[in-house]
A and B are shown apart, each in its own frame.
Chain A
Amino acid sequence: MPKAPAKPAERTADPVLQSLFDVQEATLSNGLKVRLLANNQTPVVSLYTFFQVGSRNERPGITGISHLFEHMMFNGAKKYGPKQFDKVLESNGGRSNAYTSTDMTVYYEDFASDALETVLDLESDRMRALRINDESLASERQVVMEERRARVDNDITGMMDEELGTLVWKAHPYRWPVIGWMKDIENITRQDCEQYFRTYYAPNNAVLYICGDIDPKKTLALVRRYYGDIPKGPAPAPVLDAEPPQKGERRAELRHPAQSPSVMIAYRGPAGRDEDTLILDIIQYALTKGEGSRLVKKLVYDTQLAISVGVDWGWRIDPGAILVFLELKPDSDPRKVEEVVYEELARVAREGLTERELQKAKNNLRADHLRELATNSGRAHAMGHYEALLGSWRSGLTLPSVYSATTNEQVKAVAAKYFVPERRSVVTLLPAPGEAAGEIEDGKDAE
């Protein structure tokens, strides 16, 4: 479960960010939270709806339901029936999409500012009264299976990532892929989806972010009109984190027709709200942000063992994983590459970063932060992301001050704590001999 947030005393809002976030906040009586931010530079608006539900809220047998259900949210409600959502939206100068992660499901629209009321009508209709029918579920199931084939079954990174998840987690729902196991996608029922809707899509489990060419006062009145009478739902059951401690390195090997071997490494990390998270952000930047970063320089340019290397540290509600992904050259030895990575990580734990590297990471975090906030969509999403994972969107404004106060001692301590073999899982993909392997793969697909 989330640990205690960092001490508030250390956190002060960045003045530039503060000036960009003149936000009006409200909570309706049904529990729906609303955040409004005017920006009249261009006549467009972005609206984000964050629901606190993701693959973390699933169980075996219905893995992938959060994502499959996300698709169903576009297939008809009470006022706007099948196919109407996108038709009405697009013909009013808007577009929509959504994504599901381990921790949340996020719906968003970008649209011409005069379509605001139409969009609120569309969004509130499906929150109030989604209709799920067997036909659209059957069709959407096929679409999602096709999506899984493209993202996982026919994609090397996808299949490795999936394998890695089952190594890192034994008990926690982070174990299964967000898109779900193929068999589960095939078997999720309409009843499962309906129950999911009632449990997680109530206004008290959602936050609305509207950013752009709006009048906040009028917009809030509209939100009240369209959402105000949607009944509150029961509080969703908390997710229990039963993950036992890891006691040694875990390894798995995949054989697949491929040109080169690949390696993916994960270290069990902290929860998003843990203070260590932000220090890991700095370490992530120092390791792989830019051509001159430590691992890129070492592996791509100095030893020339890899074509690319990346570190992905994504905040999550429960303790997540720090991922190192490497794209190797065809003749690279994966064990040798691993050794280089481990040595570099150990060096950070031993010696920390140079003062210049530390400053460089801070400069880049700040610049990227600003770039993220250049669009309405970026601002609305950033607020939602911070609120969902850090507990408050305001925490986002304080990130620069926390980053800037980070010391090399903290960097060393955090690297020493997390980059140890006992927290490590490794998936290696080795090219399978011959091409016949494809014949036996996926032979049981149900089409």
Chain B
Amino acid sequence: MATRAKTLKKKAAPARKAAPAKKAAPARKAAPTTTTTGTLTLPTIHESTTSSGLKVLAAERGPLPLVAMRLVVRAGSAADPADKHGLADFTARLLRRGTAKMSADELDEAIEFVGASFSVGSNEDILSLFITTPAEYFPDMLSILGQLVREPSFPEREVEQSRERTLAGFSNDLDDPSVIADRAFTRALWGNHPYGHDVGGSTAHVRTFTRDDVVRFHRERMGPRVSLLTVVGAVSPERVAEEAEKAFAGWEGGPEAPVELSSGDSVATGRVIVVDKPDQTQSQVRIGGPGYRLGHPDYFPATAMNIALGGGFTSRLVNEVRVERGLTYGIHSYFDAMSAGGVFGISTFTKTETTREIIDVSLAEVTKVREGGIPGGELKKAQRYLAGLYPLRTETNESVAAVISDIRVHGLGDDWVEKFRDRLLAVKPKQTVEVAAKYLFSKPPLIVVLGRADAIGKQLKGLGPVTVVPASEYE
């Protein structure tokens, strides 16, 4: 996600715990093999296609008078031209700054007056446009969504302003150690692969963006045949099909199929990058290596294993690094799966003085799992944890829309939700040994540390060749 805006920090509420990993894994699930008092039910999905070729999924759901819509376009940052990193996200964010019929101000007013909310999200593979609205305004909001993708006008002035804001945002990002560490990690890990740049791009590229670039990206990459509309909430499927036809009639352009990506199996390993930021009292640490792609059969064994290693608050990493040693406020490990490949990674931070210690302790835990997998009793607990919490993924209209559209976009199979829990609970300790051997740094991982190079450089001896890069390189 290329979120530029920093949200206002609340005065209150430092939570006890850093939130554990929320790297977007495909939907999780639950429903009992244990005995819950209810069963997990998803609303029935109704499918239709508009005359322009857009697939539409509708699911009626109450009791709140709200509707969530999600339009997914398969044109994420991996579709950015080689010299225009960030163009997909930039284009998506500009859609609401004017259409053939409405100016930016008129769009803002139309969406915001009725209490609807509009947002855009992008990742490596897809762009998503979300609207949630009070149910009575559903047709109006769907009609606006249609306008945004069918006939955006990209006014010159808006393109310029947006570019200036984005550049200023990059500059301010240099003050956010976590953001810069992530950016450095992504770049080092993937190198020249289309996944090897930040979704939002970088100063050097965004500076060159013109209106023509945006217009071309929209015309060539965004179209009905690589898109999917999902509507969930207090509206009938018939109504959805009818209104979608009106809203998206005549939408043309875009490719027949999404961009084919080369395999992303060869992520970088064995190197250490130190991002120098001399004003820090704390080091941000990222450790990573290859994972698996979306829809891979290793998903369930790897997920179950990772919960035990670094997914929950009782995981081995949290226990050893945080609970036993007080080295950090937050640590987690994760699998980040994308269409053409994936990552297994660890993310944490600690005070400058204990930078090496946190790396050593984390790697030692990974090694133990790599050598022995997760034993039966511990695995069972991890499985029960995830299985019990899965229904939370189907609580809101937005999350139901997300599950449904993920299933379709990534080809996970329509029985994904129903079978999820069985598949998760069927994982055996032996399988965790297999996936651990595959993904848990059998080759030395890539390590990125952001902090005071003068103080951490000497701590990192023996971990691999060290390169020191100033933080400003990641603007």
User: Is B397 in contact with A374, judged by CB distance below 8 angstroms?
Assistant: yes
User: Is A99 in contact with B15, judged by CB distance below 8 angstroms?
Assistant: yes
- Closest A residue to B349 by beta carbon equals A150
| Stretch in A230-238, A337-345, A361-369 with 4+ CB within 8 Å of B | A361-369
**A42 touches B (CB below 8 Å):** yes
CB within 8 Å for A314 and B278 given contacts A40-B38, A330-B168: no
User: Is A154 in contact with B177, judged by CB distance below 8 angstroms?
Assistant: yes
Least CB distance, B452 to chain A, in whole angstroms: 7
In A360-404, the 8 Å CB interface with B consists of 360, 363-368, 370-371, 373-376
User: Is A330 in contact with B171, judged by CB distance below 8 angstroms?
Assistant: yes
In A160-186, the 8 Å CB interface with B consists of 161, 165, 178-179
**A447 touches B (CB below 8 Å):** yes
In B12-70, the 8 Å CB interface with A consists of 12-19, 30-32, 34-40, 63-66
> Which of A92, A93, A215, A356 has the most chain B CB atoms inside 10 A of its CB?
A93
CA distance A74 to B322 in the complex (A): 13
In A287-309, the 8 Å CB interface with B consists of 289-293, 297, 300-301, 304, 307-308
User: Is B32 in contact with A43, judged by CB distance below 8 angstroms?
Assistant: yes
CB within 8 Å for A93 and B385 given contacts A43-B38, A154-B282, A308-B6: yes
**B172 touches A (CB below 8 Å):** yes
Main DSSP-derived SS at the A contact region: mixed
CA distance A138 to B323 in the complex (A): 10
Least CB distance, B344 to chain A, in whole angstroms: 21
| Stretch in B110-118, B334-342, B361-369 with 4+ CB within 8 Å of A | B110-118
**A124 touches B (CB below 8 Å):** no
User: Is A87 in contact with B168, judged by CB distance below 8 angstroms?
Assistant: no
**B255 touches A (CB below 8 Å):** no
Across-interface contacts of A215 in B (CB, < 8 A): 37
Across-interface contacts of B312 in A (CB, < 8 A): 86, 90, 95
| Stretch in A200-208, A253-261, A420-428 with 4+ CB within 8 Å of B | A253-261
**Chain B window 163-196, contacts with chain A (Cβ cutoff 8 Å), 1 for yes, 0 for no:** 0110011011011110000000000000000000
User: Is A363 in contact with B65, judged by CB distance below 8 angstroms?
Assistant: no
CB within 8 Å for A364 and B115 given contacts A308-B5, A370-B65: yes
**A142 touches B (CB below 8 Å):** yes
**B319 touches A (CB below 8 Å):** yes
CB within 8 Å for A260 and B172 given contacts A92-B384, A310-B7: yes
CA distance A77 to B330 in the complex (A): 23
**Chain A window 135-169, contacts with chain B (Cβ cutoff 8 Å), 1 for yes, 0 for no:** 00011111111110111011111100100010000
User: Is B389 in contact with A93, judged by CB distance below 8 angstroms?
Assistant: yes
User: Is B38 in contact with A113, judged by CB distance below 8 angstroms?
Assistant: yes
Across-interface contacts of B66 in A (CB, < 8 A): 367, 370-371, 374
CB within 8 Å for A370 and B11 given contacts A95-B389, A112-B30, A260-B171: no
User: Is B282 in contact with A292, judged by CB distance below 8 angstroms?
Assistant: no
Across-interface contacts of B19 in A (CB, < 8 A): 97
User: Is A93 in contact with B35, judged by CB distance below 8 angstroms?
Assistant: no
- Closest A residue to B39 by beta carbon equals A43
- Closest A residue to B353 by beta carbon equals A447
**B260 touches A (CB below 8 Å):** no
User: Is B37 in contact with A363, judged by CB distance below 8 angstroms?
Assistant: no
**B280 touches A (CB below 8 Å):** yes
User: Is B326 in contact with A138, judged by CB distance below 8 angstroms?
Assistant: yes
Least CB distance, B18 to chain A, in whole angstroms: 8
Least CB distance, B66 to chain A, in whole angstroms: 6
Across-interface contacts of B39 in A (CB, < 8 A): 43
Across-interface contacts of B354 in A (CB, < 8 A): 447
User: Is A325 in contact with B9, judged by CB distance below 8 angstroms?
Assistant: yes
CB within 8 Å for A98 and B16 given contacts A292-B105, A366-B115: yes
Least CB distance, B162 to chain A, in whole angstroms: 10
**Chain B window 110-131, contacts with chain A (Cβ cutoff 8 Å), 1 for yes, 0 for no:** 0111111100000000000000
CA distance A367 to B354 in the complex (A): 47
CB within 8 Å for A360 and B112 given contacts A161-B9, A213-B36, A370-B134: yes
**B4 touches A (CB below 8 Å):** yes
CA distance A367 to B452 in the complex (A): 46
Across-interface contacts of A445 in B (CB, < 8 A): 281, 351
Least CB distance, A431 to chain B, in whole angstroms: 9
User: Is B36 in contact with A112, judged by CB distance below 8 angstroms?
Assistant: yes
Least CB distance, B110 to chain A, in whole angstroms: 9
User: Is B395 in contact with A376, judged by CB distance below 8 angstroms?
Assistant: yes
User: Is A100 in contact with B13, judged by CB distance below 8 angstroms?
Assistant: yes
User: Is B164 in contact with A100, judged by CB distance below 8 angstroms?
Assistant: no
CB within 8 Å for A97 and B168 given contacts A161-B9, A165-B11, A314-B10: no
Least CB distance, A281 to chain B, in whole angstroms: 14
Least CB distance, A94 to chain B, in whole angstroms: 6
User: Is A114 in contact with B36, judged by CB distance below 8 angstroms?
Assistant: yes
Least CB distance, B152 to chain A, in whole angstroms: 15
User: Is B282 in contact with A289, judged by CB distance below 8 angstroms?
Assistant: no
**B132 touches A (CB below 8 Å):** yes
CA distance A115 to B384 in the complex (A): 11
**A435 touches B (CB below 8 Å):** yes
Across-interface contacts of B32 in A (CB, < 8 A): 43, 112, 114
User: Is B4 in contact with A307, judged by CB distance below 8 angstroms?
Assistant: yes
User: Is A442 in contact with B281, judged by CB distance below 8 angstroms?
Assistant: yes
**B306 touches A (CB below 8 Å):** no
- Closest B residue to A152 by beta carbon equals B14
User: Is A86 in contact with B16, judged by CB distance below 8 angstroms?
Assistant: no
CA distance A307 to B328 in the complex (A): 31
Least CB distance, B391 to chain A, in whole angstroms: 4
Choose from A54, A102, A289, A301 the contact partner of B161 (Cβ within 8 Å): A301
**A359 touches B (CB below 8 Å):** yes
**A101 touches B (CB below 8 Å):** yes
Across-interface contacts of B6 in A (CB, < 8 A): 157, 308, 327
User: Is A101 in contact with B13, judged by CB distance below 8 angstroms?
Assistant: yes
Across-interface contacts of B168 in A (CB, < 8 A): 260, 307, 329-330
CB within 8 Å for A70 and B16 given contacts A43-B391, A91-B385: yes
Give me the 6 closest cross-chain CB pairs, A-B, nearest first.
Answer: A93-B388, A142-B326, A438-B279, A367-B115, A101-B12, A292-B108
User: Beyond A143-B328, A323-B8, A435-B279: 4 further Cβ-contacts under 8 Å?
Assistant: A86-B313, A96-B313, A98-B15, A438-B452
Q: Interface on B for A, CB 8 Å cutoff? A: 4-19, 30-32, 34-40, 63-66, 96, 104-105, 108-109, 111-117, 132-134, 161, 164-165, 168-169, 171-172, 174-177, 278-282, 312-314, 319, 322-330, 349-351, 353-354, 380-381, 384-385, 387-389, 391-392, 394-397, 452
Of the A-B pairs whose beta carbons lie under 8 Å apart in the complex, a sample of 26, sorted by A's number, is A16-B65, A43-B39, A83-B314, A90-B385, A91-B381, A92-B388, A97-B15, A115-B388, A138-B326, A139-B324, A146-B328, A147-B14, A289-B112, A290-B108, A291-B104, A292-B108, A304-B165, A325-B8, A329-B168, A360-B115, A370-B64, A370-B65, A370-B66, A375-B395, A375-B396, A447-B351
